[in-house]
Every structure is written in structure tokens, then in C-alpha cells.
Amino acid sequence: MDKVKVATVWLDGCSGCHMSFLDMDERLLDIAGRIELVHSPLVDAKEFPEGVDVTLVEGAVSSEEDLHKIRIVRERTRILVALGDCAVNSNVPAMRNQFRRVDILQRAYVDTATDPRCIPDKVVPPLLAHAVPVHQVVKVDLFVPGCPPHADYIFEIVSALLDGRPVEDIPVRSFG
């Protein structure tokens, strides 16, 4: 039997959802035996592959780089999962939406910096006007709320997807 091709992606977020994924501890071994992890910030894959069965996306879409990345991910993924509140509703990254981009960059790279005091133009991807949840940019198949979602909840969701069971039967409130 072929293994399910799984990917994880990190957009604008804190990596808490990936940490919660890792908090599945020994259950990761159960999952690892059933999947092929084809892309993740936890491994060294640079390019997002074709033919991914399930992708867990953490973070909001906040930059041109995020926008480009999520469009490629959606195009190459059968089931796209918005993992955590930043992906589901743009949560903390959306706190910047009340400010102008130039003011955010000025505060981060000039006002509070020691050296060098300049806004980088090469290594920081251009910000979008607003941080938005993933579903405002591409179709999302499954929403997994939480900041971050509890490891038990992530395990139940991933297990259900691997087994072909309906995820609607997994109550969110029973975890954490």
C-alpha cells in the first residue's frame, strides 16, 4: 500500500502549530509509518512537490512570498488543512492590519533598531496590505482551530484523514 504524501507549510505565524504537531510525541511514530513527509519546515525540502495528498498550513497570508507559496501549495495538494487560528482567521498576524505597511517597517527596522537602521529591501518579502486567513486566498478543505490546536486534536484529525474517516465527528472541545 502506498503511503499518504503529507506536507506541512509555515506562513506568517509563530510555529506554535508545528510545535503542537511535534507534541504528539510517540504517536508521531505511528503516523510516520503511514505517511511520506514530502515537505515541511522541519525537513530540508526547498521546492513544494507535485501530488501531495494532505497539506497542513500554519499561519496567515501576510506577504507576497506567502501569497505565492500558498497558491502553489493549493495547486499541488488534494486536501488543504488550515491548521491553527492564524491560518483559520489570521489571528495575531492580523493585528497589524490597522497600521500602514510603511509604519510597521519603520517601527521594526528603524525606530527600534540599533544597527543597521534601515528597512531591508532584499531579505524581507514585501508585505501585503493586510494579513488574511488562508481561505481568503485559496480553497481550504478543513479548518482546525486553536492557538495552537492541541496535539491530541491534531493527532485525531491526521489519523482520521489517513483512515478516510469523517473529521466532522471529532469534537474540538474534548482536547486541551
Q: What is the mean pLDDT of residues 1-11?
A: 92
For the chain, counts of helices (H) and of strands (E): 6, 7
Dist. CA 88–CA 173, nearest whole Å = 17
In this model, does residue 46 exceed pLDDT 70?
yes
Read off the pLDDT of residues 83-114 as tens digits, 9 standing for 90 and up. Answer: 999 999 999 999 999 999 999 999 999 999 88
- What nine digits make up the cell of 162? 489517513
CATH class, domain 4-174, is alpha beta
Lookup result for grid cell 493527532: 155
Amino acid identity for residue 4 in this structure: V
Q: Are 135 and 90 in contact (CB under 8 A)?
A: no
pLDDT at residue 6 in the model:
96
Q: Are strands 127-132 and 61-63 parallel, antiparallel or unpaired?
A: antiparallel
Dist. CA 31–CA 46, nearest whole Å = 23
Angle at 176 between CA 154 and CA 91, to 5 degrees: 70
Angle at 45 between CA 43 and CA 51, to 5 degrees: 115
Read off the pLDDT of residues 32-42 as tens digits, 9 standing for 90 and up. Answer: 999 999 999 97
